[in-house]
Each structure stands twice: as structure tokens, then as C-alpha cells.
Amino acid sequence: MKLTERLLLGAVAVVGVLVLLLAVVVDRSLGVRLADETTRRLASEARLVAEQWQPGVEADVLANRLGALTGHRVTLVDAQGVVRGDSEFDGDELAHLENHALRPEIAAARAAPSGMGTSRRRSASAGDEEVYVAVRAVPGFARVSLTTASLSAIIATARRDVAIAGLGTLAVAIVLSWFFAQAVSKPVIELSGVARALAAGDFNRRPARAAPGEVGDLAIAISQLAEQLSTRLEALRAEEALLRELAESLNEGILVLDVRQHVVRINETARQMLGLRAPLPFGSDFLPRDRHLRDIIAGAMQGDTVRDAEASIGGRVYNVTARPLDQRGGAVVALLDLTRLRRLETVRRDFVANVSHELKTPLTVVRGFAETLADDDPPPSARRQFAQSIASHTRRMQRLVDDLLDLSRIESGGWVPAPQRVDVRTVIGEDLAAARADAARKGLRLDVEVESGADRVFADPTAVRQIIANLVENALRHTSEGGVTLRASCTPGGVTISVADTGCGIAAEHLPRIFERFYRADPARSREQGGTGLGLSIVKHLAEAHGGRVAASSAVNEGTTISVWFPDEAAPAEA
């Protein structure tokens, strides 16, 4: 069979199958969608009928009127299943209708929480197949039905239209496929002859380049085949350079050893990791004298694949993967620096230990008092004291958990600031009521100073409130004499909110670490006063989320000042 005939028959077969599939899909989809749409429409009408049927309304008159308006059969059934009205039956016929309590749609409407039931069956009274939708009403059930004959007629019409369109499409496809097959087969036959000539060694013969589309591209490719042979080596060299650059861009160290255990390829990352500067190729004796690393390389040279091994080289931890080169012999070794990951794991362990330590004391106290209250019968004054202590330590644990959740949301990116112009005076007035009461109880003054031009800061309102509350509360907690001053001032590029106290101060060796989680300059005193060790860490993360920064200055017995700088709206990128 010639190429033209194969292309023609293939195109006709494809179009015919597509037309057949389209007809089947349209037939099924139309039937389903038509049935669904009919059910939804009948449901809407049934709800309307249910709303119209109220106690005192003549059921049969209502059914006849609504049936005439909707063009569908309307049936009103009371709660016992007795038909009280039907748009297609009146008088004696209505009185002799069967009890509808067990009709599928009525039973479904009675049982369904939505109060609606549907069914598709042959009508016992009308004799033809109908779609029924029943809705629960005050006196009973309102049912609307539609014969499926109209649906079948619509589907039959659609089938006929699809068949006519499919036959027309197939006829057009046959004509177009014939011209297409002719246009494709001629240049392909020519290209076949040229390819045979090139295979026989005749490199002077060239195909015509006037063919359209992919066939024309093939003709150009064949005509360029001879010229491309001379450039193939250059392309291989370029690919080699690309692979070299790719290896150099990796964060992993890569080195390749040949069968003589000479390093023949190494990227700059591996040189930095292993401290190597010798020119290629060089022997494996230049590699670090780490026994584990040399055992891994020896195993790979013998054909063993090693994955996820760890070696400590020069005080750093590396993940080592080695695999043999099957064809030429040798091995490939990959090194991944895990030092930072191990440090993060250490931080995580320290964090868990700190949280456990912070929770252990209050949990022990709560458990002790609770067991005393449960097992003994202390006097009322003691019970009150125990309950107050339990409540105090519970609040401490709750505050610790809340601070941990806030810090987790900020660090993970689950909270993103929505900065806007915030009135500093308004925030201070709203949020310092409790702080003023605490200051008054301790006999401290709480002063507020807002410079001209610094009364508005571009930041998230919730974050500003939390920063001010944390700083003021922290200052009051560590101040026993004098007072606390909250100050908002204009600084280059933004606004600085600072809180200064006259408390015990912080020693110079502790000052750089006060913004770390759970770090306390005086742990015992901080725990006694209810601190969680997370407040300043939260302040730092909130400030940095706005592109701002925090700073602290302090001297022992002279007080501490914590400052938070927020950038202006026009200069977030510079911040």
C-alpha cells in the first residue's frame, strides 16, 4: 500500500473514531445533564408549591392552578400519604388514588434532612415513566412530576443532529485528507531517494527545500547532514564545557577517580572542602588522611556503592556518597557539607530542652498542689493558697505556649505584616492601661514621650501593640525603683520606639544574647517574676518582618533601653 493511501485511510479512521466517540459522549452527557437539569427544575417548582400549600388552602384547587401554570403534574399528599390534590385527577378519580406514603420520593423526602426526595419510575396512575420530586410541606408533601417522553424526544433530536454533523465532517475530512496525503507523500518520496543516495556515498545530491512544514524541515536537515559532521566534534567540546560549568555550580563537592586511583576531575567546591590545590590529575595520596573517607573510596573502587555515609574532615561533617564507574573503572565521590544542619539539630535539641525545663517546674508545682488537694483535706485558707498557686503556674505555662506559637508563626512565615499608618498615641492609650496599673502597684512611674513627627509609624497595628506591650511589661518586671519611659522619636529613614527603665541593668557579656529564645541574664529572677524568655525574641522577629531592627543598651544598676526602628513607607527596600 502506498504512502498516500495509508495517510488517507489513517486520517479517515481517526476522524471516524472521533466522530463516533463524540456522538457517544454527547449522547450520554446530554442525557445525564438533561436529567439533572430537569430534577433541579422540578425541585424548584416543588419548593414553590410547598410554600403555597399552607393550612386552610384547598389542596386540589391549588394543585390544579399550579399544574396549569407550570405545565407539570402537581400532587399534594398529606402526612398520612392520602392524596389531597392532583392536577391530573379530580372528583372520584382523586378519591380512588392509592395511598402515597410508600412512594419512593415521598419516603425519601420524609427521611432526608433536606426534606426532599426524588425518583424515576413508571406511574401507577398515569401508566408512563415519570421523574418525581417531592418536598416536605407544612400539611404534608408537595410533589411535581414530568413524563420522560419529552426528555427522550430531546435526546433523539440531538442524536440525529450529531449524526448528520458527523457524516458531514467525515466527508469533508476525506477530501482534505486526500489533498494532505498528496502534499506529504511527494516530498517524502523525494527525500527517501536522497537518503538512499547519501547512504551510498553520494553527498552531492540535495533535496528540494520547497516542501512545507516538517517535511521541509526534514529536507533542510538532510541537506545539512554532511556539513554537520564536521561540526560534531565542536559540539561535543561545548557539551563537555557545559558539564564542567554545571559541576562547578553545585553546592556539593564532586571528584572523579580513575582506575589507578588518580583524581581526574574535581570541582572548586570539593577543592575548598578538602583543602586541595594540586593540578589535575593527582594521586589519592593528596586527599585528607581520614580513615572513613579512604575506606569509602576503596569500597567504591571495588564496585560497592556507598550512600549517606558521614565523615568528619577538618572539624566539619560531610555526607559522602560514592559509586563505581562501571565501564572504565574508577569511582565518583560526592561530598555534602552537613555542618550547618548538625548545628541546627543542636539548636533544636537545646530548644526542646529549654522548653522542657521551663515547663517542668510549674508542672511539678501544679501536680504537687493538685495531689495535696485530692488526697488531703487542708483548711480553706490553704486550699485557696494552693488554688491561687495552681492558677499562677497555669497562666505561666499558658503564656509560654502562646509566646511559642507566636514565635513559630513569625519564623515560619505563617504571619505576614500588613503595614499601614498607625497612630502611636492611640496604640499607647489603648494598650498601656494594664501596664499603668502594674506600675502603680509597684510604685513606679510610667512616662510616655512622643516627638513631633513621630506620632505615626508605618507598621502592622497588631505587631506595634505586641512590641510595645512586651517591652513595657519586660521593663516593669525588671524595675523596682524609679520608672519606665516609652519614647517615640524620629530617626533617619523611619521612626524609633524605645523603652527605657531604671532597673537592675544587664551585664555587658549578656547583652548580645538577650534577643535569643529562652536566654536570661538572671534566670532565677526572671522565672520568679513570670518571664518566659521569649518576649525580646518575638520583638526582634516582628521588627525584622517589617524590615526594621532592634538594639539594646544597658549598664548594671543603671537601667536598660530597648529600641525598635521601623522604616518609612517610602524606604522599605533600603531598610
The pLDDT, as a whole number, for residue 507 is 78
CA distances from 91 to 97, 103, 327 (A): 10, 22, 98
Residue 205's pLDDT band, with cuts at 50, 70 and 90, is low
The yes-or-no answer to whether 249-337 and 342-409 have a common fold is no
Distance of alpha carbon 501 from alpha carbon 528, whole angstroms: 19
| DSSP string over 453-485 | T-SEEEE-HHHHHHHHHHHHHHHHHT-SSSEEE
pLDDT: is 320 or 105 the higher one?
A: 105
Please give the DSSP secondary-structure letter assigned to residue 103: S
What type of residue sits at position 378?
P
Contacts of 479-484 spanning 24+ positions with Cβ under 8 A: 479/442, 479/444, 479/503, 479/504, 479/559, 480/442, 480/504, 481/444, 482/444, 482/445, 482/559, 483/439, 483/444, 483/445, 483/446, 483/447, 484/439, 484/444, 484/445, 484/446, 484/447
Residues in Cβ contact with 40 at an 8 Å cutoff, skipping those fewer than 6 apart? none
Residue 572's pLDDT band, with cuts at 50, 70 and 90, is very low
| Mean residue pLDDT across the chain | 77
CA 36 to chain centre: 34
What type of residue sits at position 405?
L
> What does residue 42 show for φ and ψ, rounded to 5 degrees?
-65, -35
Torsion of CA 234, 239, 245, 250, to 10 degrees: -170
The pLDDT, as a whole number, for residue 134 is 92
Is the pLDDT score of 389 beyond 80? no
Domain at 249-337, CATH from 2.60.40.10, 1.10.260.40, 3.40.50.1000, 3.30.450.20: 3.30.450.20
Is the pLDDT score of 573 beyond 60? no
Angle at 69 between CA 66 and CA 70, to 5 degrees: 85
DSSP H helices in 281-330: 291-301
Is the pLDDT score of 279 beyond 80? no
Q: Which of 548, 518, 555 lies closest to 536, judged by CA? A: 518
- What is the chain's alpha carbon radius of gyration, rounded to the nearest angstrom? 43
For residue 118, the tally of other CB atoms under 10 A from its CB is 18
Strands 140-147 and 129-136: antiparallel
Cell of residue 97, nine digits: 388514588
Distance of alpha carbon 500 from alpha carbon 131, whole angstroms: 79
Distance of alpha carbon 166 from alpha carbon 321, whole angstroms: 61
Selection from 228-237, 258-267, 398-407, 449-458 with the highest mean pLDDT: 449-458
Each residue's pLDDT tens digit, 107-138:
998 889 888 998 888 776 666 678 899 999 98
Q: Are 556 and 504 in contact (CB under 8 A)?
A: yes
CATH topology of domain 342-409: Helix Hairpins (1.10.287)
Which residues, listed in sequence order, are joined to residue 502 by a DSSP beta bridge?
Answer: none
Cell of residue 283, nine digits: 594521586
pLDDT: is 421 or 186 the higher one?
A: 421
Angle between helices 433-442 and 424-431 (to 10 degrees): 60
- Spell out the SS3 assignment of 384-396: HHHHHHHHHHHHH
For residue 470, the tally of other CB atoms under 10 A from its CB is 22
Residue whose entry in the numeric block shows the C-alpha cell 526534514: 218
> Buried (b) or exposed (e) across 171-202, using 16+ Cβ within 10 A?
eebeeebbeebebbbebbeebeebeeebeeee
Distance of alpha carbon 132 from alpha carbon 145, whole angstroms: 4
Each residue's pLDDT tens digit, 507-535:
777 777 777 766 665 554 444 454 556 77
Residue 141's pLDDT band, with cuts at 50, 70 and 90, is very high
Parse the chain into domains and list their residue ranges. Answer: 249-337, 342-409, 416-567
Q: Are 184 and 49 in contact (CB under 8 A)?
A: no
Q: Which of 137, 139, 145, 136 lies closest to 117, judged by CA? A: 136
Distance of alpha carbon 146 from alpha carbon 88, whole angstroms: 12
- State what percent of residues in the chain have pLDDT above 70: 77
Residue whose entry in the numeric block shows the C-alpha cell 527596600: 573
Mean pLDDT of the 151-179 span: 76
> What does residue 17 show for φ and ψ, rounded to 5 degrees?
-65, -40
Residue 574's pLDDT band, with cuts at 50, 70 and 90, is very low
Mean pLDDT of the 130-151 span: 86
The pLDDT, as a whole number, for residue 378 is 72
| DSSP string over 142-156 | EEEEEETHHHHHHHH
CATH-assigned architecture of domain 416-567: 2-Layer Sandwich (3.30)
CA 351 to chain centre: 27
